[in-house]
Amino acid sequence: MKAQTELYEKVLHGERISPEEALTLFEEDLLTLGYLANEVRKSLHPENIATFVVDRNVNYTNVCVAGCKFCAFQRKVGSPEGYVLDKEQVLQKVQELVDWGGTTLLMQGGLNPDLPLSYYTDLISSIKERFPQVQVHSFSAPEVVYLARIEKLSIREVLKRLKEAGLDSLPGGGAEILSQEVRSFLSPGKCTVEEWEQVHRTAHELGMTSTATMMFGHVEKPRHIVEHLERVRSIQDQTGGFTAFIPWTFKKGNTQLESVEEAPSTYYLKVLALCRLYLDNFKNLQSSHVTQTMSVGVLGLHFGANDLGSVMMEENVISSTSYRVSIPKVENMVEAIKSAGFVPAQRDTYYRIVRVFKP
């Protein structure tokens, strides 16, 4: 009991916890973890603001050779259901984003062997030429690694060319669980844990920021979650390039993991709270209304999160699983945040406040 109390006090005083202590905390009840995470959140964000971004998720292709067991969005090369968006289609989507008052463009797609690096650089430069105000937050580590492979270039060179074309920052997608034990089962055709890390470290060295993500609630154990958190915390210690951490849960419909029991919302909130306690060098933690519904999403603001993700114009990946994704409007997001007892604020990609909505 004394050791338990000492661990609580350590957390509340902002001291760093070890992987072993994280596993100990994982055994605690949900409300205790929630209380501790909420106290840490309040110390980091005493202004009681909860943020969100207005963005658009554009999936430029669904053709993918990775074959991840958890993905319902992918289509094989040659599939009649496969597609690639051309430049004009993407530019039209960005125009709609701008007209809607959005600030961030998130582009991600499959590992498509028919798309050269020039497709990506031309696309980014055209977007930036027409819409210089839009922040291009695009292309996950697996996409970068795959481009490097098919172009026979280094990861650094690929990132340099993307940045020169106008890429502002990278999403953390493709991380899933950063444990090779889990990764080898879930996504053997994707980049390794070390390659994911190399992409983000290199992006930070080149002056770009990125986010870190975690997709859990499938075959992982608590030790794998802690291994993931330890890796991103270590990267952040050395680069400081992550703007936020974004955990979300696996949805199984139309995937190869139909027999897996999806994680309940209580498990999601427990992991969310643990993330806040472990990631002492991340200022921002996002709660997922997309995979958890808005009611659970705002509850996450009391379990350590200070951000509620995005008001999306478009979502295709999770929707492919047959899970019904409810996409809120700005007014819905503002009202939900207010109802949870927070001050709503729109932010940009870099977590800079764009607009505060008065109570």
* Under 8 Å between Cβ of 166 and 124: yes
What does the DSSP 8-state code read for residue 253? T
Number of structural domains (the chain) is: 1
Take residue 73 and report the two structure tokens written for it: 């969005």
Mean pLDDT of the region 159-185: 93
pLDDT band at 218 (very low <50, low <70, confident <90, very high): confident
**In the block, residue with structure tokens 């289609």:** 89
> Stretch 44-73: mean pLDDT, rounded?
85
Confidence of residue 100 (pLDDT cuts 50, 70, 90): confident
What does the pLDDT read at residue 178?
A: 95
Which is more confident, 194 or 180?
Answer: 194
Q: Please write the tens of the pLDDT for every residue from 276-321.
A: 999 999 999 999 988 888 999 999 999 999 999 988 765 444 444 4
d(CA 73, CA 109): 9
Residue count of the chain: 359
Relative to beta strand 343-347, strand 353-356 is antiparallel
pLDDT on residue 189:
77
Residue 157 has pLDDT above 90, yes or no: yes
What pLDDT is stored for residue 5 in this prediction? Answer: 86
Q: Quick check: 354 pLDDT over 50?
A: yes
pLDDT category of residue 250 using cuts at 50, 70 and 90: confident
Report which of residues 32 and 110 the model is more confident about. Answer: 32
Rounded-to-integer distance, Cα 204 and Cα 159, Å: 10
**Least reliable range by pLDDT among 57-71, 214-228, 229-243, 328-342:** 57-71
Parent domain of 244: 2-356
- Give the CATH number for residue 300: 3.20.20.70
Q: Which two tokens stand for residue 146?
A: 């795959």
More confident residue, 359 or 99: 99
For residue range 12-34, what is the model confidence (pLDDT) as tens digits?
998 999 999 999 999 999 999 99
Residue 257 confidence (pLDDT): 52
Percent share of the chain, pLDDT over 90: 69
pLDDT score of 140 more than 80: yes
Is a pLDDT exceeding 80 seen at residue 258?
no
- Under DSSP, the state recorded for 302 is G
| pLDDT score for 253 | 52
Name the residue with higher pLDDT: 325 or 9: 9
At 313 the pLDDT is 67
pLDDT over threshold 70, residue 86: yes
